């Protein structure tokens, strides 16, 4: 079912044309173009804030590309000790010379996904704090844990395969030792699995490429949402009743599924 979110506008405008065209059932791609409030991106600065009813900041560490059920499990564990945070890193591809690629989760949707996790985290909002990778990549394991402590973090939750510090010299055993030295609680969790293998962002990406959207939904704990940022409604190619639309791939802001036709529900934000 199309659910266009369009305000009234003069006859003949892009929005007016879309309102008339999509006032019916159709198959399509879900579109969101809302603004995005980027999480804090800083190495120093003020300590992380604690939720008044939850306790001190407790962070989950990892690469939170897909925000899948394994990441959600880390946040749940963190919420048992205090205010749950995800610590992620910006600029890794640029610093390490990796090829740039679209994220699994559109930037504008990350806060919405984390908000949906709060019901499983004692109704405490899950927050995200971003550290610039360029500034931490050469930190030793000892200095990295000291940085976390200076940010007001009093507990850490990681998966059993987590490594940290320059050239990944730190492992979970070292993290437990360094955490104890700083009076920080450390929880090591087993990797989340489904019926086939460990849940990972790489698996999510591979399933998207293969068009296995039911498996993607299982790994994410939600349906995949595809977002596009279109400067004009005229860029949509409308096939006709019950047929859906085509969207030029260059306007996607997160990873689409592989080539194919997929049933979906679309919503539209306003064009300026």
Is residue 180 over pLDDT 60? yes
Mean pLDDT calculated for residue range 4-11 = 32
What band does 163 get if pLDDT is binned at 50, 70 and 90? very high
Q: Count Cβ neighbours within 10 Å for each residue of 118-137 and write b for 16 or more, e otherwise.
A: eeebeebbbbbbbbebebbe
The closest of 106, 142, 132 to 33, measured between CA atoms, is 106
Q: What is the pLDDT of residue 150?
A: 95
CA distances from 142 to 42, 135, 136, 137, 223 (A): 19, 15, 12, 13, 39
Cross-sheet strand order for the sheet of 83-90: 40-41, 127-132, 83-90, 57-61, 155-159, 185-189
Is residue 27 over pLDDT 80? no
The closest of 184, 175, 197 to 68, measured between CA atoms, is 197
Q: What is the pLDDT of residue 59?
A: 97
Is residue 5 over pLDDT 50? no
What band does 211 get if pLDDT is binned at 50, 70 and 90? very high
Residues contacting 10, CB < 8 A, separation 6+:
16
Q: Give the residue carrying structure tokens 């080539």.
A: 259
Model pTM score: 0.79
12 burial (CB, 10 Å; 0-12 / 13-18 / 19+) is exposed
CB of 133 within 8 A of CB of 90? yes
Instruction: Tell me which of 18 and 61 has the higher pLDDT.
Output: 61
Q: Taking the domains of the chain in order of start, what are their residue ranges? A: 14-36+199-251, 40-189
The superfamily in CATH containing domain 40-189 is HUPs (3.40.50.620)
Measured distance CA(143)–CA(136) in Å, rounded = 9
235-253 pLDDT, tens digit each: 777 666 566 677 788 889 9
CB of 100 within 8 A of CB of 56? no
What ranges in 170-212 are assigned the alpha helix state H? 172-181, 201-209
Q: What is the pLDDT of residue 51?
A: 84
Q: Give the residue carrying structure tokens 């995800």.
A: 86
Within a 10 A sphere around the Cβ of 185, how many other Cβ atoms? 16
For the chain, give the percent of residues with pLDDT over 70.
Answer: 76
The closest of 254, 236, 256 to 246, measured between CA atoms, is 236
Q: What is the pLDDT of residue 52?
A: 77
Is residue 221 over pLDDT 60? yes
């Amino acid at each position: 079912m199309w659910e266009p979110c369009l305000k009234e506008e003069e006859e003949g405008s892009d929005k007016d044309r879309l309102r008339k065209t999509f006032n019916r059932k159709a198959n399509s791609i879900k579109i969101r173009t809302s603004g995005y409030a980027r999480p804090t991106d800083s190495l120093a600065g003020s300590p992380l804030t604690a939720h008044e009813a939850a306790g001190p900041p407790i962070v989950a560490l990892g690469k939170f590309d897909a925000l899948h059920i394994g990441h959600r499990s880390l946040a749940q564990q963190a919420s048992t000790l205090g205010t749950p945070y995800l610590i992620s890193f910006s600029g890794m591809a640029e610093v390490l010379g990796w090829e740039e690629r679209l994220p699994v989760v559109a930037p504008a949707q990350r806060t919405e996904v984390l908000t949906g996790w709060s019901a499983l985290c004692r109704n405490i909002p899950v927050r995200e704090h971003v550290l610039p990778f360029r500034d931490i990549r050469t930190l030793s394991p000892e200095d990295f844990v000291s940085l976390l402590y200076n940010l007001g973090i009093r507990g850490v939750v990681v998966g059993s395969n987590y490594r940290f510090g320059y050239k990944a010299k730190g492992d979970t055993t070292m993290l437990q030792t360094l955490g104890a030295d700083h009076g920080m609680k450390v929880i090591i969790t087993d990797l989340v699995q489904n019926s086939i293998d460990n849940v990972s962002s790489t698996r999510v990406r591979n399933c998207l490429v293969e068009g296995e959207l039911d498996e993607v939904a299982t790994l994410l704990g939600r349906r995949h949402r595809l977002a596009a940022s279109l400067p004009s409604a005229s860029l949509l190619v409308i096939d006709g009743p019950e047929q859906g639309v085509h969207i030029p791939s260059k306007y996607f802001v997160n990873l689409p599924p592989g080539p194919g036709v997929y049933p979906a529900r679309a919503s539209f934000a306003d064009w300026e």
